[in-house]
Amino acid sequence: MNSTKQRIAMAFMALSLATWGCANPPVDQIQTAERAVADARAAEAGKYAAEDLAKLEGQLTLLKKELDTQNEKFSLLRDYGKAEQLAATLTAEAQKLVQTSTAKKQEAQEAAARAIQAAQEAISSAQSLVAKAPIGKDRAAFEAIKHDAEALSLSLQEAQKALEQGEYLDAQYRAKAISDKAQSVSDEIERALAKVKGTRTTKVATR
């Protein structure tokens, strides 16, 4: 009888030890957290919320340190509860950062697209003024202006390319520069047109 009780107690202790000894690192949660941080980097959080991303990286380091601390302990004393909690917090914050960065990126993309549209309109307006310009001797002064308008069109293609490559601020500011220059070209033509208004225009065959 005593022997049976002893055996039961020993079996119970062995089971308890086995249960304690089975504490495994929360691999899935950690992988999820790492993926979430990678997603935040991919969403260009480094560009749109650099400091928030740095904090995430800090949390990831903390999580790894906690894992190392537990892994270094004797297997029966390991406790991954804190690591699990850290991984869950990190995942939630990384997901939030993905959303924030995506929203900021979307906003920048829309602003760039609007700026390009405005630049296109400003160039079209300048080009239509160039087309209205008198020819003959008057063409001479417009020759350089025409070159400017053509150069602006080419530059707009570069702004468009920057937009396609995801360089939204570059695209936006370049488009803004193009708009302003196109406007000044238009103003120059308007002033010149005002001066030649009423003068005769004649076509010259060649020079």
Partner 1 sequence: MNFRRFQTMALFLAGGWCLAAGSGCVQAPPPELVQTVEALDSQLTEVGGAEFAPEEYAHFVERWVSLKHRLEEDDDLIRWPWEPNRVADEVSQVAQEAALTLSLAMERREDLRRTTEEQVEEAETRLGTLKQRVEDLGSRAIVGKQLIDTELLVHQAKTFFEQGRYARALELSQIALQSVGVQTVSLTRALGRYADEEQVQAWQEMAARTIEWSRSSRAQALVINKADRQLTLYRNGQSVHTYPVRLGFNGILEKKHQGDGATPEGQYRILRKRGPGDTQFYRAFLLDYPNSDDRRRYDLAKDSGEVPDGKGIGGWIEIHGQDDHGLGQTLGCIMLDNSQIAHLYEQVSPGTPVTIVGALDVDNRVSRMLGDLAEFAAD
Residue 204 near partner 1 by CB under 8 A: yes
Residue 137 near partner 1 by CB under 8 A: yes
Residue 169 near partner 1 by CB under 8 A: yes
Closer residue to partner 1, CB minimum distance, 6 or 165: 165
Which range touches partner 1 (CB under 8 A), out of 18-26, 68-76, 122-130, 178-186?
178-186
How many CB atoms are located within 10 Å of the residue 169 CB?
A: 12
Size of the site for partner 1 (CB under 8 A): 51
Residue 195: what residue type? K
Residue 173 near partner 1 by CB under 8 A: yes
Least Å from the CB of residue 27 to partner 1: 21
How far apart are the C-alpha atoms of 95 and 143, rounded to whole Å? 56
Closer residue to partner 1, CB minimum distance, 22 or 98: 98
Residue 46: what residue type? G
Least Å from the CB of residue 16 to partner 1: 23
Residue 178 near partner 1 by CB under 8 A: yes
Phi/psi at 136 (5° precision):
90, -140
5-64: which residues touch partner 1 (CB under 8 A)? 46, 50-55, 57-59, 61-62
Taking CB under 8 A as the criterion, the residue among 8, 11, 77, 151 binding partner 1 is: 151
